[in-house]
Amino acid sequence: MMTQAYYTGISGLQNSSYGIDIVSDNLANVNTTGYRGNSYEFASLFEESLATVDNISSNSVGLGTSIQATPMTEKQGSFLLTERSTDLAILGDGWFGVQREGEPLYTRNGAFTFDSSADLVTTDGYHVLGTMGGNIDGETLTEQLAEVPLADVAAQEKLRFPKTLNYPPQPTTTVEFSGNIGTEEATRKMSSTVVDANGEKNELRLEFTKTDPQTPPGIQWNVVATTRTLNSDGEDSLIYDTQEGIVSFDEKGALISSTLGTIDNNGTPITIDLGSGFDGIVAIANSAITSSAAADGTVGGDLEGYDINKNGEVIATFTNGMQSSVGKVAVYHFQNDQGLNRVSGTYFSTSSNSGKPIFYQDASGENITGTDMTNFKLEGSNVDMTAGLTDLIILQRSYDANSKSITTADEMIQKALNMDA
């Protein structure tokens, strides 16, 4: 039995020491972004029955303890405000994916940034994995996207973007005019800025004059539309096209008809939309004279920079004020998060216990993030310092007690040997 006390004490020393190492490692990473701590689970070794009553052990002595498992703590860490849109935090379940030396790793640390090559990387230089938008050809944006659909798990790739990106000009095809031109004899003018196929801003101007004679009960106006180069003083402008028409209103001022159709804008036809009824151009007496215009199309722009929104979309912003998604940060899920193997710090790899990474899907079978994210925030460590210090005291006392048991067993053996003498 005294020899057994040695084994029991030694196993206690080993496991208490192992527990101290785990808690110490947790406390050392209490300020590590995205860190998930480990807990510990002890199990008793085989026990020897000392007495039995009706085949039920009434007294027994154990052979010590052993570490059974060191599961990862899945509790959510606190959130830290930052000043960068590229800092992401997952609000629920999920992991970011990064590429390290051909091996995908998974982390809760969303401290990302764009490096000198405009690649999205971690602070350690690992490339962040996600879905590219497919709307970039060389250094030109080919399509404006509000959102990039998440591709399958196996199709995720490094998020790499060009340092220089151009937003191509989009010529104006339709201009919608609205306002009140009244009923009195006067020249009414409306104008709108339009963009031609070369990305240049031009002017589309409308001039309304009352027809003579009028045909009651409504009112009729002549309208002349002109497209020309946009000059601040309106002089020495190059005129591209001029079109004429007649707009007719009923006795209440609602637009009945317009013979004004399209007009050429340096090679691009523009549809002139004056509306209908009271939706668009009206001719109402004793009301304020107003005018407004809305045109599609935009001038070209150069890349100002990349950002990431709260949905994980990588957004390119251009000097013309336009934006487009060009990529999406992937969020992976596992059947058993605690089965992941810690590679180092906040990085984990898959194992047979964790299963392969998966994406959640919506009702239509499309891949989705499956959790909420936020930018301008980082998830801090989920280690509870108060609980850790308490565990450290308990484990230290356990270590001392097991050390004392070994000393006591040694003294008992010495006394036994002296008795024989």
pLDDT computed for residue 417 by the predictor: 72
Question: What pTM, to 2 d.p., does this model score?
Answer: 0.76
Average pLDDT score, the chain: 87
Q: Where are the domains of the chain?
A: 2-73+381-420, 79-167+302-379, 174-295
Determine the Cα–Cα distance for residues 168 and 128; give it in Å rounded to an integer. Answer: 28
Question: Helix %, strand %, coil % for the chain, to 5?
Answer: 15, 45, 40
| Whether the Cβ atoms of residue 81 and residue 100 lie closer than 8 Å to each other | no
| Whether the Cβ atoms of residue 293 and residue 300 lie closer than 8 Å to each other | no
Measuring CA to CA, which residue among 260, 395, 306 is closest to residue 120?
A: 306
Pairing between β-strand 95-100 and β-strand 103-107 as defined by DSSP bridges: antiparallel
pLDDT computed for residue 209 by the predictor: 96
Measuring CA to CA, which residue among 129, 115, 283 is closest to residue 209?
A: 283
Residue pLDDT, tens place only, 391-405: 777 767 776 666 676
pLDDT computed for residue 7 by the predictor: 62
The token duo for 80 is 């830290």
Determine the Cα–Cα distance for residues 407 and 404; give it in Å rounded to an integer. Answer: 5
Residue pLDDT, tens place only, 218-277: 999 999 999 999 775 556 689 999 999 999 999 999 999 999 989 999 999 999 999 999
| Whether the Cβ atoms of residue 197 and residue 173 lie closer than 8 Å to each other | no
Q: What average pLDDT does the segment 204-215 reach?
A: 94
Whether the predicted pLDDT of 336 surpasses 90 = yes
